[in-house]
A and B are shown apart, each in its own frame.
Chain A
Amino acid sequence: GQNIDQPTEMTATEGAIVQINCTYQTSGFNGLFWYQQHAGEAPTFLSYNVLDGLEEKGRFSSFLSRSKGYSYLLLKELQMKDSASYLCAVRSENQGGKLIFGQGTELSVKP
């Protein structure tokens, strides 16, 4: 089966850096996605990792270690608008494009 774990909630200060962790167990790993979801809205794509290492996109970076079944999303220079839920999702081989989502991490950015 597949299992994805991420913290339920986190709090950080505006201007700071926060790291949101995700651990997963899956057979035939074939990619990990991070999505951002503001309250009452649809999830929107942030990043994709399939090889080990760091992918950087502006203030957001995502890291993957396949041997450890571990990923993190790093948010720099936090802004109030970054307050949202961050969803980790895993894709497996032989499952087509289907994703299995974690429960999401609710991030609150305080002034």
Chain B
Amino acid sequence: IAGITQAPTSQILAAGRRMTLRCTQDMRHNAMYWYRQDLGLGLRLIHYSNTAGTTGKGEVPDGYSVSRANTDDFPLTLASAVPSQTSVYFCASREGQSDTDTQYFGPGTRLTVL
């Protein structure tokens, strides 16, 4: 069982370019999340999805969009990247059957926008 995979592992991107970060889980979890982690700011929620077909905004959604066409995949898109989006991005998933469910994190994508 792979758990949660993210791609790419790292990326350097020119400002203004479009970029999609991929996240796939094979645990059949209902809920999925995207976070960014910045030094001194901790993990901040960008977008989330409680179940396939639904999405919601987190703390810092501006400049990002997501889709949840099926249970396994939850891609995060930066329509026009800016340097302030340089960060480490983590995808997470949760079974979603009860409030005690734990979130499990993917390995992360390190993104640099120049």
Asked if B99 is at the interface (CB within 8 A of a chain A CB), the reply is yes
Asked if A87 is at the interface (CB within 8 A of a chain B CB), the reply is yes
Residues on B close to A: CB < 8 A? 31, 33, 35, 40-45, 48, 50, 58-59, 90, 94, 96, 99-108
The segment from A59-67, A69-77, A98-106 found at the interface with B is A98-106
Asked if A25 is at the interface (CB within 8 A of a chain B CB), the reply is no
Bound-complex Cα distance A87 to B103 (A): 13
Segment 6-49 of A: residues with Cβ below 8 Å from B? 30-31, 33, 41-45, 48
| B100 lies within 8 A of A98 (CB) | no
Bound-complex Cα distance A89 to B102 (A): 11
| A42 lies within 8 A of B41 (CB) | no
**Of A42, A45, A100, most B-chain CB atoms within 10 Å:** A42
Nearest chain A CB to B69 CB, angstrom units: 20
Residue on B nearest A2 in the bound complex, by CB: B59
Can you list, as one digit per residue, whether each of A75-87 has a CB less than 8 Å from chain B (1) or not (0)? 0000000000001
| B90 lies within 8 A of A31 (CB) | no
Which of B45, B90, B107 is A98 in contact with, Cβ under 8 Å?
B45
Bound-complex Cα distance A80 to B44 (A): 28
Given contacts A43-B90, A43-B105, A48-B100, 15 further A-B contacts (CB under 8 A): A33-B102, A33-B103, A42-B108, A44-B105, A45-B104, A48-B102, A50-B99, A97-B94, A97-B103, A98-B48, A98-B58, A99-B103, A101-B35, A101-B44, A103-B41
Bound-complex Cα distance A97 to B96 (A): 7
Bound-complex Cα distance A98 to B44 (A): 11
Q: For residue A43, which residues in chain B have a CB less than 8 angstroms away from its CB?
A: 43, 90, 105
Bound-complex Cα distance A21 to B60 (A): 26
Which of A41, A45, A100 is B103 in contact with, Cβ under 8 Å?
A45
Bound-complex Cα distance A59 to B82 (A): 43
Q: 19 A-B Cβ contacts within 8 A?
A: A31-B99, A33-B102, A41-B108, A42-B90, A43-B90, A44-B105, A45-B102, A45-B103, A48-B102, A50-B100, A87-B43, A96-B31, A96-B48, A97-B31, A97-B94, A97-B103, A98-B48, A98-B58, A103-B42
